[in-house]
Amino acid sequence: AQKITQTQPGMFVQEKEAVTLDCTYDTSDPSYGLFWYKQPSSGEMIFLIYQGSYDQQNATEGRYSLNFQKARKSANLVISASQLGDSAMYFCAMREATYTGANSKLTFGKGITLSVRP
């Protein structure tokens, strides 16, 4: 079964506006972590933000915030005041605590392409 689902087609946003990138996940583990990564055209993976399953508050990192709705199993990334440099592919990922062996295995979604228009 797919653990991380990112189904939005390519997203477009006007510069300086906010945009939400959707992510839903599937796990029966009560302890898990959710991550968002940015991948520009160069291919490097840039860590953006982390949300723990027990965290009471939504995570924020500068212009990035994570809209965590645990009951719905969604972890949407919100980018405020979009910039041209935000154009990239964005991946949602999850780590489950009880995974045996490599306890820090990350499972990724298919990604969403974001294009920021000037």
Q: Which residues bind another protein (CB under 8 A)?
A: 4, 6, 31-33, 35, 42-45, 47, 50, 52-53, 91, 93, 95-97, 101-111
- Distance, in Å, from the CA atom of 48 to the CA atom of 39, rounded to the nearest integer, reads 10
Shortest reach from residue 14's CB to another protein, in Å: 26
Shortest reach from residue 17's CB to another protein, in Å: 26
At residue 114, what is the residue type?
Answer: L
Q: Whose Cβ is closer to another protein: residue 20's or residue 107's?
A: 107
Q: Whose Cβ is closer to another protein: residue 6's or residue 87's?
A: 6
Q: How far is CA 21 from CA 36, 75, 82, 101, 103, in A?
A: 10, 9, 12, 31, 27
Q: Whose Cβ is closer to another protein: residue 56's or residue 118's?
A: 56
Q: Whose Cβ is closer to another protein: residue 66's or residue 95's?
A: 95
Shortest reach from residue 79's CB to another protein, in Å: 18
At residue 2, what is the residue type?
Answer: Q
Q: How far is CA 86 from CA 19, 106, 110, in A?
A: 11, 23, 18
- Distance, in Å, from the CA atom of 111 to the CA atom of 7, rounded to the nearest integer, reads 8
Shortest reach from residue 60's CB to another protein, in Å: 16
